[in-house]
Amino acid sequence: MGVPIIIMFPILLVLTSREKWYPQFFIVARFWARIVLYGMGFMPRVRREAQPDLNKSYMVVANHTSMTDIMFMLHCVKHPFVFVGKKELAKIPIFGFFYKRTCILVDRNSQRSRKEVFDRAHARLHDGTSICIFPEGGVPDDQSVLVDQFKDGAFRLAIDHQIPILPLTFFDNKKRFSYEFFSGSPGKMRAFIHKEIPTEGLAHENKKDLKEKTRQIILQALENDNKQ
């Protein structure tokens, strides 16, 4: 993670100095993500149910199982998006410096922080940038859980801005690089980009149904893959 960031430090520093340069930073971030994935011995494989529209903003969501989810998401999605992520990741040396400059950080124990997240996300969506949230809110402690319960934030924002949900399923990230210390291996890392879920005409009372529909799409994909 650190070596390519150090090599590209001057470029990254310039591109993160202004929000209007974020699309250019995003291109570099995708290049960095691929260096990390291939450098760790992973072979990304992405299939799509439909091709996302690069001219639309999305609420991008996926199951959360690994630190590699960040890099794999950057590899999978071409449309510039901003991560909403926990502030603890900002403490990671080198990576954390740019993480806090480019992502929307949330302190899950602070109501004020959660309010600020919504304000910043609203601003980025108005600029035409997509938002990426892992709606489980973290990696489940129980490694046997395929998909934990989803939190409301991503779906509330999507309804507020009437932007579609773009669900992704990550099949192998937990197996390749989990949070258990002595685990993981090189190999294929597969993702499936599902068809977008429209939110036009939905109101906040539809939030629960939208959230559960999205979760079931990801959960069923994982269950079907396990059967195979």
Residues 51, 84, 40, 182: what is their CA dihedral angle, to the nearest 10 degrees?
Answer: -130
> 85 vs 165, which has greater pLDDT?
165
φ, ψ for residue 189, nearest 5 deg: -130, 105
| Per-residue tokens: 206 | 């539809």
pLDDT at residue 111, rounded to an integer: 67
Which of 84-93, 143-152, 175-184 is modeled with the greatest confidence? 143-152
DSSP bridge pairs for 197:
165
First-to-last C-alpha distance (Å) of the chain: 33
pLDDT at residue 193, rounded to an integer: 97
Q: What is the mean pLDDT of the chain?
A: 90
Q: Could you report the per-residue pLDDT of 48-90, keeping only the tens digit for each?
A: 998 899 889 999 999 998 989 999 999 999 999 999 987 887 8
pLDDT at residue 138, rounded to an integer: 80
The 3-class SS string of the chain reads: CHHHHHHCHHHHHHHCCCHHHHHHHHHHHHHHHHHHHHHCCEEEEEEECCCCCCCCCCEEEECCCCCHHHHHHHHHCCCCEEEEEEHHHHHCCCHHHHHHHHCEEECCCCHHHHHHHHHHHHHHHHCCCEEEECCCCCCCCCCCCCCCCCCCHHHHHHHHHCCCEEEEEECCHHHHCCCCCCCCCCEEEEEEECCCECCCCCCHHHHHHHHHHHHHHHHHHHHHHHHC
pLDDT at residue 109, rounded to an integer: 66
Find out whether 168 and 194 touch, Cβ atoms under 8 Å: yes
Question: How large is the average pLDDT for residues 135-140?
Answer: 84
Q: Could you report the per-residue pLDDT of 85-135, keeping only the tens digit for each?
A: 878 878 888 888 888 888 888 876 666 766 788 888 888 888 889 999 999
Question: How large is the average pLDDT for residues 25-43?
Answer: 94
Residue type, 179: Y
Question: How large is the average pLDDT for residues 218-222?
Answer: 97
Least confident of 181-185, 190-194, 207-211: 181-185
Alpha carbon distance 97, 146 (integer Å): 31
Find out whether 182 and 152 touch, Cβ atoms under 8 Å: no
**At residue 156, does pLDDT exceed 80?**
yes
pLDDT at residue 113, rounded to an integer: 66
- pTM of the model as a whole: 0.91
| Per-residue tokens: 223 | 């269950």
Alpha carbon distance 56, 65 (integer Å): 27
pLDDT at residue 179, rounded to an integer: 76
Least confident of 11-25, 78-92, 114-128, 140-154: 114-128
